[in-house]
Amino acid sequence: MPKLALIDAQSKREIPELLDMEKEFTYIFETYYKKVFNFVYYRVNQYYTAEDLTSQIFEKVMIKINTYDETKSPFEVWLFAIARNTVNDYFRNLQNRKFLPIDSIKNLISKKKTPEDIVEIAETNDELLKALSILDERERSIVALKFGAGLKNVEISKVLGLTENNVGVILFRTMKKLKKELERMG
């Protein structure tokens, strides 16, 4: 009987800690879910795969949260390093190892469009997908982090281990390459 009382007392002490951890993780999830999902979706171009990978990412974050060291990097950089590694693992496990182009920005499209607008947007998205297929993995990652996750160049540089200037130059050249490809196609 005394053991039961000891276990209950210990459990009562752990409950507030678990509630605090749950609140912290809820905050992290609500704050970063959309950014992480967009980044993953831009990379894999499949809605349900992006959902699955995003769930895996947050599961890893929850498991590894105790390893995060704020003196090494900002939390967002740590989180997107996990996201990038998870996506890279996903592609590594595919047999053909072909990186798919970034999907169009469907989540950002207003819900009140006319049928003509929808057709025009779909055509533009198809052209964009074709143009994005000419990018290499690093260029797609930078575009996905910039426009999918909404990260700044400084944050992208920390996630990818590049200098901020290098990210800016690659992004500029990538946008120029995309523009040239879209003009060639159009």
Note the pLDDT tens digit of each residue in 75-92.
Answer: 898 999 999 999 989 888
The reported pTM is 0.60
- Number of domains composing the chain: 1
Residue 6 within any structural domain of the chain: no
The answer to whether residue 32 scores a pLDDT higher than 70 is yes
pLDDT of residue 124: 64
Residue 30 within any structural domain of the chain: yes
Residue 106 within any structural domain of the chain: yes
In the block, tokens 């947050």 appear at: 58
How is 88-154 classified by DSSP, letter by letter? HHHHHHSSS-PPPPPPP-GGGS-S---HHHHHHHHHHHHHHHHHHTTS-HHHHHHHIIIIIS---HH
Residue 2 within any structural domain of the chain: no
% of the chain beyond a pLDDT of 70: 72
Residue 3 within any structural domain of the chain: no
- Residue 12 per-residue DSSP state: H
- 18-22, 159-163, 177-181 — which is least confidently predicted? 18-22
Domain that holds residue 152: 15-185
